[in-house]
Amino acid sequence: MTGRLEGKRIFVTGAAQGIGLAIARAVAREDAAVFLVDRDQPLLKREAEALRQAGATVGFMSADITDVPAITDAMAKASEEIGPVNALINNAGVNVFAEPLETSEAEWDRCFDINLKGAWNCCKAALPGMIEAGGGVILNIASTHAFTIIRHTFPYPLAKHALLGMTKSLGLEYADRNIRVNALAPGYVATQKVLDYWASFPDPEAAKAETMKLHPGGRIATPEEIAMAAVFMISDECPFMNATCLTVDGGLSVQQHPA
């Protein structure tokens, strides 16, 4: 019995840990070939080798998504190691939270260079091959920040709103080339970033409890739960889903007032 993603050759960014690693593991379990990209070379190599030992077809390269030549090289290496890429998952991102007037130019640039331009760099590298092959799929990992605003998180929501705009634009632009472009918007997920966020408070356990209270179910997502949604969206099970965003946040963004 074959997996749901047999024949998919997937390029995943930010793949050495957190949501990206969970996605890499999930797509590999469904018989996709996967190429991992991350800036953390030692961690990336360790996780890629673990996937290989589990029987997956895996390639990897350490690269910064803001570095256009590096991403071009990574896409070429992916084609050599796993075959021409027909699916891209733009997962790499960074939290940049501040009050607007306290945001430095460097913070602004870092936020947009990674969260928006970096995703575009990867799309630009992947799209020509998809067009030539007659189709493909792109999934941008957005956030509930893409359509809601939390005070003092500037300029991160701006970049995620723009990422959603890019998703819709590319989805319409290339629909007639049989290329689907969608976004997935997680809410709070139990990643190292969230653990570090709680740890930044004087009472981390109290901060964690406040986060849990925001959610109707009283908990946050696991990376694996986000990965399961990504598997569906990258698969051929939703061929008419294009230029849209799937929210996976346990109902967080639906509440008008926190509990």
Contact of 248 with 226, CB cutoff 8 Å: yes
Structure tokens at 221: 């997502």
Q: Pick the catalytic residue: 156, 174, 188, 197? A: 156
Nearest CA to 228 out of 5, 1, 2 is that of: 5
Determine the Cα angle at 201 with ends 198 and 204, to 5°.
50
What's the rounded Cα separation, in Å, for the pair 200 and 102? 19
SS (H, E, C) 46-66: HHHHHHHHCCCCEEEEECCCC
232 - beta bridge partners? none
What would the DSSP string read from start to end of 123-172? HHHHHHHHHHHT-EEEEEE--GGGT---TT-EEHHHHHHHHHHHHHHHHH
Structure tokens at 19: 């949501």
- Distance (Å) of CA 93 to CA 13, 110, 140, 177, 190: 9, 10, 10, 28, 15
Q: Is 8 exposed, middle or buried (0-12, 13-18, 19+ CB in 10 A)?
A: buried
Structure tokens at 111: 């936020």
Contact of 221 with 186, CB cutoff 8 Å: yes
Asked about 188 being catalytic, the answer comes back as no
Catalytic residue set: 156
